[in-house]
Amino acid sequence: MKVLVTGGLGYIGSHTCVALLEAGHTVVIVDNLSNSKIDTLNKVMQITKKNIPFYKVDVTDVLAVNSIFSKHDLDAVIHFAGFKAVGESVEKPIEYYHNNVVSTLIIAEACRKYNVHRFVFSSSATVYGDNKVPFVETMDLLPTTNPYGETKAINERILIDIAKANPAISLSILRYFNPAGAHKSGLIGESPVGIPNNIMPYISQVANGKLEKLRVFGNDYNTVDGTGVRDYIHVIDLAAGHVAALENLNEGIHIYNLGTGQGVSVLELVKAFEDANNIKIPIEIVERRPGDLASCYADVSKAKQELGWEAKYDIVAMCHDSWNFEKNRF
Ligand code: NAD
Ligand code: UDP
């Protein structure tokens, strides 16, 4: 298939482009480089030894988007482009709703105009709110605690309404849990700008001495050791999940959790990182971070049954590969 990948130079998008190309598909990447670097395109081409058409375009620009659709005979779109920093979304709700929701409408409209019926959308476990774990796809969506989460829930509703209105559409909504790790080559991975919010890049920067210690946000949750539990999933597994979703996509609306189904606490993650890389990570227990859940992990049976996909890599592999990327970066 020929797949338009929006946000294809970002963390998950770049790994997914590699996986698509390695599975024999072709990709066209569009990214405005607001949270990525053009060098990632060279790295993806270096890994796959393929040439990739790239457009530095903002996907909220309707004319530019239509022009890309008119130039390529696309079979499918995977829509990753969007802003993703939870804290920033609280400070800049207009920018978040504009970028994340308008982009989806514009891409969906171009799909209608150019008869592209396969659509894969990047959603997030955040749409489950504080439902009871493990999260199952059939659960009602609960309010999220920030505009970022709301944009994901709104986009899901918009796309579901669009798919209901046109039975020819094949829609796959993928709810990611916590992506971690990097490509085995160490060439691509997660490179957040400034001080990372997410724990894995934060730990990596403690490991390389850029940051002094990890602040553990609370040790009084009702979890195995009192620290927050998350379902970390290797970005390579996540990328493979997109290929599986695309290759198994039929008409109608399909929603899948992409996680491992395993909850890992902050202290377990720190220990796994120390064991995998033989580096001590100093920690300090501090107050809970507002808005954090105690536990968040997936029921992954639906993706396994319907897509024949399941995660292969464990937390130690994620810690090893995250550090392998981070240490190559400097
Ligand atoms: P990322 O920031 O690394 O990648 C997003 C890419 O989209 C970036 O390269 C950015 O430059 C581009 N982009 C943003 N707005 C754009 C626009 N208007 N036009 C063109 N390009 C634009 O993020 P990621 O971690 O790869 O996440 C990809 C998607 O998955 C996002 O939609 C995100 O919300 C979702 N998601 C991420 C996580 C996570 O923890 N990383 C979890 C759940 C869902
Ligand atoms: N966390 C932490 N210190 C940090 C960053 C995160 O203790 O500097 C914890 C956080 O409270 C949560 C887990 O690590 O329990 C994962 O947080 P992250 O921000 O990576 O993902 P999300 O909150 O989106 O699940």
Residue 296 resides in a domain: no
Contact 24, 99 (CB under 8 A): no
Residue 44 resides in a domain: yes
- Nearest protein CA to atom 18 of ligand 2, as residue: 198
Contact 225, 268 (CB under 8 A): yes
- 285 CA distance to ligand 1 middle (Å): 30
Residue 313 resides in a domain: no
Q: In angstroms, how far is CA 97 from the centroid of its own chain?
A: 18
Strands 214-217, 76-79: pairing kind: unpaired
Nearest partner of 125 among 86, 183, 79, judged by Cα: 86
For residue 183, the model assigns a pLDDT of 98
Residue 123 resides in a domain: yes
- Nearest protein CA to atom 19 of ligand 1, as residue: 58
Q: Return the ligand 2 atom nearest residue 216 CA.
A: 7
Inform me whether the pLDDT recorded for 137 exceeds 90.
yes
Residue 323 resides in a domain: no
Q: Which ligand sits nearest to residue 80's alpha carbon? A: 1
For residue 299, the model assigns a pLDDT of 98
Lowest mean pLDDT among 2-11, 142-151, 226-235, 296-305: 142-151
Inform me whether the pLDDT recorded for 45 exceeds 70.
yes
- The per-residue pLDDT for range 85-134, each reduced to its tens digit, is 998 999 999 999 999 999 999 999 999 999 999 999 999 999 999 999 99
- 198 CA distance to ligand 2 middle (Å): 6
- Nearest protein CA to atom 7 of ligand 2, as residue: 216
**Catalytic annotation on 114?**
no
Candidates 148, 202, 232, 313; catalytic one: 148
For residue 6, the model assigns a pLDDT of 99
Sign of the CA dihedral running 34, 36, 42, 44: negative
- Nearest protein CA to atom 3 of ligand 1, as residue: 10
**In CATH, what number is assigned to the domain containing residue 33?**
3.40.50.720
- 234 CA distance to ligand 2 middle (Å): 16
Q: What percent of the chain has pLDDT over 90?
A: 94
Residue 133 resides in a domain: yes
- 293 CA distance to ligand 2 middle (Å): 9
Inform me whether the pLDDT recorded for 72 exceeds 80.
yes
* Residue of 4, 6, 9, 12 with the most ligand 1 atoms within 8 Å of its CB, for mutation: 12
Give the pLDDT band (50/70/90) at residue 192: confident
Q: Return the ligand 2 atom nearest residue 196 CA.
A: 8
For residue 328, the model assigns a pLDDT of 82
Rounded CA separation 75/5 (Å): 11
Please list every protein residue whose CB sits less than 6 Å from any atom of ligand 2.
Answer: 178, 197-199, 202, 214-217, 228, 230, 266, 289, 292, 296
Task: For residues 261-272, give the mean pLDDT.
Answer: 98
Q: Which ligand sits nearest to residue 17's alpha carbon? A: 1
Residue 23 resides in a domain: yes
For residue 194, the model assigns a pLDDT of 84
Torsion of CA 57, 60, 63, 64, to 10 degrees: 10
* Residue of 84, 289, 319 with the most ligand 2 atoms within 8 Å of its CB, for mutation: 289
Give the pLDDT band (50/70/90) at residue 295: very high
Residue 104 resides in a domain: yes
Give the pLDDT band (50/70/90) at residue 330: low
Question: pTM (2 decimals)?
Answer: 0.98
- 71 CA distance to ligand 1 middle (Å): 24
For residue 191, the model assigns a pLDDT of 84
- 199 CA distance to ligand 2 middle (Å): 5
Name the H helices within the chain. 11-22, 39-48, 62-71, 86-91, 93-97, 103-113, 147-165, 199-207, 235-247, 266-277, 301-307, 315-329
- The per-residue pLDDT for range 194-223, each reduced to its tens digit, is 889 899 999 999 999 999 999 999 999 999
Q: What percent of the chain has pLDDT over 70?
A: 100
Strands 2-6, 26-30: pairing kind: parallel
Rounded CA separation 32/101 (Å): 16
Contact 174, 242 (CB under 8 A): yes
Inform me whether the pLDDT recorded for 311 exceeds 70.
yes
Torsion of CA 174, 180, 186, 191, to 10 degrees: 90
Task: For residues 235-256, give the mean pLDDT.
Answer: 98
**What does pLDDT average to over the chain?**
97
Number of domains in the chain: 1
- Nearest protein CA to atom 21 of ligand 2, as residue: 198
Structural domain boundaries enclosing 139: 2-180+232-259
Say how many Å lie between the first and final Cα of the chain, rounded. 37
